[in-house]
Structure 1
Amino acid sequence: MRVYYAAVEHVANDGSRHVWAAICLVNYNRRARDGFIFGYKDMSDEMGPCEVECPVEILALLTPTESKNASEWREKCRKFAARKAENAKKPDLKPGQLVEFEHAIYMTDSTTHKTLQVVRPENRRVIFRSPETGDTYAIRNVKQRAYKILDQTA
């Protein structure tokens, strides 16, 4: 709810059409002390924005462009969508499963762990327990990490 994407069509007098992507960053804070509770920044794909989560359905509506920035941005969005689709295919983690990460994870208590046991999955994070120490850790966006499930038993 912070970034909005749209396909914008411009039809010239000669009937030619050009469809480009509009990206709008939105900030809503109803408790703003200064009274400015809403702000936004709009931009086009030609500006090469950092936000790359544009839905593929919108990307499909865009007409070809000669802009290097727009082409690179569109490619980044397609790559992000492909990674997101691949991550969605990963099985949901269940309590009791042992998970081995491809790379050791550095925790805020200055420890690193490569293998952790699932305690409970939550909305955007999973609570893990270290098999060695019994300490628990919350890891966000686990499906974006490379891992394999060592133990299927829950």
Structure 2
Amino acid sequence: HMGPCEAECPERILALLGDTDDPGALHWRRRCLERLARPTRQLEHGMHIRLPNPVRFTDGYEGDEFIVHKRGRKIALAKPGSGYPSY
């Protein structure tokens, strides 16, 4: 009776699933669909973002505001005023 804890199934896979009466499966599908319905925003290079909670890094920096740096498919976050991060 253990079901998946994560609810990140892609819509294309959910569409392939057959009908079910299993309450656990229905609950999981509903959670997946709710996640897919949430609005998302793409991170763009140079965008300033604020996280809901501060993050502590190994260098001792703790903050909730960052600047997005993109190079190809890689994304790095830098603290404001620090310049570009090293990749």
Cα distance between partner residues in 2 of 1:102 and 1:92: 16
Kindly state the Cα deviation for residue 53 of structure 1 after the two structures are TM-superposed. Answer: 2.8
Residues 106 and 113 in structure 1, CA contact (< 8 A), matched pair in contact too:
yes
Q: Does 1:92 align with 2:47?
A: no
| Equivalent position SS for 1:62 | coil
Q: Aligned Cα RMSD in Å?
A: 3.1
Q: 4+ runs of 1 displaced by more than 4 Å?
A: 135-138
- Structure with bigger RCO (C-alpha 8 Å, 6+ apart): 2
Q: Does 1:121 align with 2:76?
A: no
Kindly state the Cα deviation for residue 98 of structure 1 after the two structures are TM-superposed. Answer: 3.5
Cα distance between partner residues in 2 of 1:125 and 1:62: 33
TM-score for the superposition, normalised by structure 2: 0.61
Larger Rg: 1
Q: Does 1:80 align with 2:35?
A: yes
Query: 5+ residue gaps in structure 1?
Result: 1-45, 139-154
Kindly state the Cα deviation for residue 137 of structure 1 after the two structures are TM-superposed. Answer: 5.9
Cα distance between partner residues in 2 of 1:60 and 1:47: 22
User: Which is strand-richer, 1 or 2?
Assistant: 1
Between the two proteins, what is the percent identity of the paired residues? 27
TM-score for the superposition, normalised by structure 1: 0.41
